[in-house]
Each structure stands twice: as C-alpha cells, then as structure tokens.
C-alpha cells in the first residue's frame, strides 16, 4: 500500500542513501496547452552524486552526457520527478515530485551546494560535473515495487570519470557546446556563454 509523506524523515533518508541508482523524469511543454515534445527519463549512478538538503529539498550532481534534456526541460517549466527503486529483498519505490532549478559552476550558489558532494568538495568541478540540479519537493510518495526484480550491484562504472579525466577543460567545454546546447526538441539547454562561465 502506497503512502504519502509530509517530508523526508530519517527512514526515507536512509533508504535513499542505500540506493546505487536513481531515475530522473522531465517533459517539455511545446504548446500553449502544455502538450508536445519528448518525455525524458534518465538513470543516474554514483552514490556520491545525490544529497538530501532538507525535509523537502534535494540536489544531485549533473554529469556531462550526450544530451541535456533535463536541463532544457527544467529551464522551460521546472517540473521533475525523481524515483528510487529498491533492488534488494526489501520492496519499495520512492518518488519525489517537485520543481527543479539548474545551478551552473559560475553561479554564486555553486560553492555551498558543492560541499554536499565529495567529488566537488573543493567547490570547483573536477571534470565530468556540468551542473547541480536542486529540487524543491511538493509530493513524496512510495509504492510497493513487488514486481521489481532482486539484483545485486557488483560495481559502479568508472567509464564516465575516466573519459572526463582524459579531456582538458577546453575539450569538455567544446563537447558541451556541441552536444548540450539544445534539447532534442530544440529547447535551449546549455549555451556557449554559460559553459565557459566557470570559476577560475
């Protein structure tokens, strides 16, 4: 039986901390009545990239990828859902519904938010990090997850980190300018000016 929670209590925070993957869903509104565009659903890995900021606030470290749908959608309408799904013997799915904001490395909020993530504790992006997504939650709900399989995590992939380590700051900026400027529906995501606006 699903339940709606007023806030992220200690039990829910512990559940979130145990998960090795979470999923992020967003969608664009391309018409005046809120229709059109491609819904985006992205899996996110690395346990050190998600942080609970408060009872109804979370953030995650957005790493460089071949697209920037989440960023584009948040900039357009702000709507986002984050899902955690247990793959061990305790069945549970947790969804966080909220409004998201994109914080770039040059933003005044970056340094304080970066303290929540070990890989950016120095306050400066180490490589793959391109933004921090901050979510104000308006609904917290769980469901059973009875049909989700039991799976065992063998290891985290380090492919993205190794890829980024081989790139210079200029290489990463050029990649993001080419791949992350627009969503697949043509909505603005990361612009060239923003991509170069990083702390020195």
200 residues of the chain, pLDDT tens digit each: 689 999 999 999 999 999 999 999 999 998 877 678 999 999 998 778 999 999 999 999 999 999 999 999 999 999 999 999 999 988 999 999 999 999 999 899 999 999 999 877 555 556 789 999 999 999 999 999 999 999 999 998 888 888 988 999 899 999 999 999 999 999 999 974 454 443 33
Tokens 């869903």 label which residue? 25
CB 44 within 8 A of CB 16: no
pLDDT given at position 118: 82
Report domain extents, the chain: 3-145+156-191
Tokens 């984050």 label which residue? 82
Question: pTM for the whole thing?
Answer: 0.90
Beta-bridged to residue 99, according to DSSP, are: 79, 136
Q: Which fold has domain 3-145+156-191?
A: Pnp Oxidase; Chain A (2.30.110)
H helix count then E strand count, the chain: 6, 8
DSSP state of 184: T
pLDDT given at position 194: 53
Measured CA to CA, the distance from residue 166 to residue 180 in angstroms comes to: 19
pLDDT given at position 121: 58
Alpha-carbon distances, residue 2 vs 66, 88, 102, 146 (angstroms): 35, 18, 30, 12
DSSP state of 77: T
pLDDT given at position 1: 64
Measured CA to CA, the distance from residue 181 to residue 64 in angstroms comes to: 12
What angle (nearest 5°) sits at the alpha carbon of residue 62, between those of residues 59 and 65? 160
């Amino acid at each position: 039986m699903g339940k709606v929670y007023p806030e992220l209590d200690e039990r829910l925070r512990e559940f979130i901390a145990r998960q090795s993957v979470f999923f992020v869903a967003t969608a664009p509104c391309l018409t005046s009545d809120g229709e059109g565009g491609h819904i985006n659903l992205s899996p996110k890995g690395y346990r050190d990239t998600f942080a609970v900021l408060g009872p109804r606030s979370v953030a995650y470290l957005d790493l460089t990828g071949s697209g920037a749908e989440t960023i584009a959608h948040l900039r357009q309408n702000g709507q986002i859902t984050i899902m955690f799904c247990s793959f061990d013997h305790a069945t549970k799915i947790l969804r966080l519904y909220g409004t998201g904001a994109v914080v770039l490395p040059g933003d005044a909020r970056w340094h304080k938010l970066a303290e929540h993530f070990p890989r950016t504790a120095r306050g400066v992006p180490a490589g793959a990090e391109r933004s921090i997504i901050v979510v104000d939650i308006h609904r917290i709900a769980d469901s059973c997850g009875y049909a989700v399989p039991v799976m065992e995590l063998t290891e985290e992939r380090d492919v993205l980190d190794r890829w980024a380590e081989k790139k210079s700051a200029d290489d990463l900026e050029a990649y993001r300018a080419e791949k992350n400027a627009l969503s697949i529906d043509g909505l603005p995501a990361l612009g060239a000016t923003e991509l170069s606006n990083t702390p020195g």
